[in-house]
Amino acid sequence: MAKGPPDKPKNKKISEAKRQNANVLIASRLRGYYDSIIDEGTPQHLLTLLEQLHDAETKSKDK
């Protein structure tokens, strides 16, 4: 009769610690990406387009 591999002892503390470490790493990287995007600011061409849209909406309401 063939037996499968013996069950490995599961240490929930270790797996929970690994999961928390992974979450901290992911959160840190996401925060870094977000901060770099915020530091870039809004491109001038987008601001110009938004201003033109605002002006067009204002003119259409005045009619």
pLDDT tens, per residue, the chain with 63 residues: 556 555 555 667 779 889 999 999 999 999 999 999 999 988 999 999 999 999 999 999 887
Asked whether residue 8 is domain-assigned, the answer is no
Write down the pTM of the prediction.
0.49
Look at residue 62 in the predicted model and tell me its pLDDT: 81
- Report how far apart, in Å, the C-alpha atoms of 21 and of each of 8, 14, 45, 55, 58 are: 22, 10, 41, 50, 51
Query: What domain range includes position 50?
Result: 16-57
* 36: in domain: yes
Question: 50 vs 26, 30, 38, 58, 59, CA distance in Å?
Answer: 33, 28, 18, 12, 14
**Does 21 reside within a domain?**
yes
Residue 1 lies inside a defined structural domain of this protein = no
Q: What pLDDT was estimated at residue 7?
A: 58
In this prediction, residue 17 carries a pLDDT of 86
**9 lies in a domain?**
no
Domain-located, residue 10: no
Give me the pLDDT at residue 24, please: 96
The domain tally of the chain equals 1
